[in-house]
Amino acid sequence: MSGWLIVLLRLPYLAVSSVFAFIRLLPMSDMDKGIEILTLRHQLAVLQRQVDRRRVTRRTVLSRQRFSTGSRGPG
């Protein structure tokens, strides 16, 4: 039951925040909007690189461990 209460409170919050975001965009010029879009794209690219770096690091560590255990040989 409390899950529904959270949803019912969150929906109006999201609606109101979306309205304020839209109102904030109204007085902006096209150049300002373009700059904001470029900034957001840059932030997204930085975050994606960070996530990709973590994935590569984990895969690299696992592959190095497999390689090192497989190349030891007897003895």
The average pLDDT across 14-27 equals: 90
Assign 69 a pLDDT band (cuts: 50, 70, 90).
Answer: low
How far, rounded to the nearest angstrom, does the alpha carbon of residue 7 sit from its chain's CA centroid?
Answer: 23
Contact by Cβ (8 Å): 25, 33: yes
Give the whole-angstrom CA distance, residue 70 versus residue 55: 23
Residues 45-67: b if buried by 16+ CB within 10 A, e if exposed: eeeeeeeeeeeeeeeeeeeeeee
Question: pLDDT at position 18, please?
Answer: 92
Question: pLDDT at position 42, please?
Answer: 96
Placement of tokens 């019912």 in the chain: 8
Let me know how long the chain is: 75
